[in-house]
Amino acid sequence: MLAVDTGVVEEWLSEFKTLPEASISSYAASLKDKTALISSLYKVIQDPQSELLEPVCHQLFEFYRSGEEQLLRFTLHFLPELMWCYLAVSASRDLQSSGCIEALLRGVYNLEIVDKEGHNKVLSFTIPSLSKPSVYHEPSSFGSIALTEGALSQHGLSRVVYSGPHPQREMLTAQNRFEVLTFLLLCYNAALSYMPAVSLQSLCQICSRICVCGYPRQQVRKYKGVNSRIPVSSEFMVQMLTGIYYAFYNGEWDLARKAMDDILYRAQLELYPEPLLVANAIKASLPQGAMKSNKEGTRCIQVEITPTSSRISRNAVTSMSIRGHRWKRHGEKTGDENVTESV
């Protein structure tokens, strides 16, 4: 680590301690533009033996619990790199080198699982119904749905999935490690729209490394430093795919494609059905050709927009269609009778 980087980080550490309360908001808003500082902090985090690692982790935790939204997001910015460094050191069984990183991850987790009053949070997720339009689909694209008694009884009902309450953790062990990391990655994904390009790049790179280290593909990717296999859970891989799917359409096409291929590779080896399903669904939904450049800025996902005018399915059964059906049958019968009489 260069002396210039050390000086930038030390200045940052001392600056926040002497900052008056009234200046915190403006200071927090300016952090995302300090590229030299961000680059130096990445170098500190990537060096487990750095003397600055412990004070940096302590300051990032202070940012997170300050209550200032911009400071909280600044800490989340480094979450993928912190996870990788913790898992890499854990794989080498040198847990003392990752003590401050583990304390930071555990502290962020314990803050996130409770509300402002200190009560455990219970998160809820509503699974959309295919019978109602969304930004991802139109009900008409699935064709006509038979109006059976079972379908009518389920019409308009939404399934809600609950997560939590999550227990407080005093230490990370092999048994609870990925439960904590999965929840942290869920928090990171909830703030994806605020993450800069360097954070998305870090996410894609660490996803690839976690999935291929210790396997033959590591030689293809030419990853060095960690040769041990890193255990990973199915739920954690699904959260990785969530972030990677966002990175595809926000300037990191090439890295995201490589990360998705590596997650799919690991999921096949582990026989994990959930990440296999999600990864293959993402792969099938991608455009046929790659983006011209992965640096052209934010991309949008093409979706079918519901027309403003009302639209009635051709197969919809209405009172008008029933009357029309009766009139048609009646007309056909009258025509046949006229033909018979004329003969």
Q: Per residue in 183-214, pLDDT tens?
A: 999 999 999 999 999 999 999 999 999 999 98
* Contact between 160 and 126 (Cβ < 8 Å): yes
Can you tell me the mean pLDDT for 74-88?
Answer: 94
pTM above 0.95, yes or no: no
Whether residue 128 is found in the same domain as residue 228: no
Structural domain span for residue 81: 1-116
Please indicate, yes or no, if residue 309 is contained in any of the structural domains: no
Last residue of a domain, one of 289, 304, 325: 289
pLDDT at 332 over 80: no
Please indicate, yes or no, if residue 223 is contained in any of the structural domains: yes
Residues 102, 82: Cα–Cα separation, whole Å:
9
3-state secondary structure of 145: coil
pLDDT at 330 over 60: no
Q: What is the largest CA-CA distance in the chain?
A: 108
Last residue of a domain, one of 242, 266, 289: 289
The number of beta carbons lying within 10 Å of the beta carbon of residue 338 is 10
Can you tell me the mean pLDDT for 66-88?
Answer: 93
Can you tell me the mean pLDDT for 206-232?
Answer: 87
Can you tell me the mean pLDDT for 66-81?
Answer: 93
pLDDT at 298 over 70: no
3-state secondary structure of 262: helix
For Cα atoms 296, 195, 258, give the angle at the middle one, nearest 5 degrees: 60
Q: Per residue in 238-296, pLDDT tens?
A: 999 999 999 999 989 999 999 999 999 999 999 999 999 999 999 998 886 555 444 44
Least confident of 7-16, 46-55, 289-298: 289-298
Whether residue 69 is found in the same domain as residue 135: no
Please indicate, yes or no, if residue 37 is contained in any of the structural domains: yes
Please indicate, yes or no, if residue 107 is contained in any of the structural domains: yes
Whether residue 28 is found in the same domain as residue 111: yes
Number of domains in the chain: 3
* Contact between 85 and 57 (Cβ < 8 Å): no
Write phi, then psi, for 4 (nearest 5 degrees): -65, -45
pLDDT at position 108: 94
Whether residue 229 is found in the same domain as residue 147: no
Whether residue 93 is found in the same domain as residue 138: no
Whether residue 33 is found in the same domain as residue 70: yes
Last residue of a domain, one of 85, 116, 147: 116
Write phi, then psi, for 97 (nearest 5 degrees): -70, -20
Please indicate, yes or no, if residue 302 is contained in any of the structural domains: no
Percent of the chain with pLDDT over 70: 73
Please indicate, yes or no, if residue 213 is contained in any of the structural domains: yes
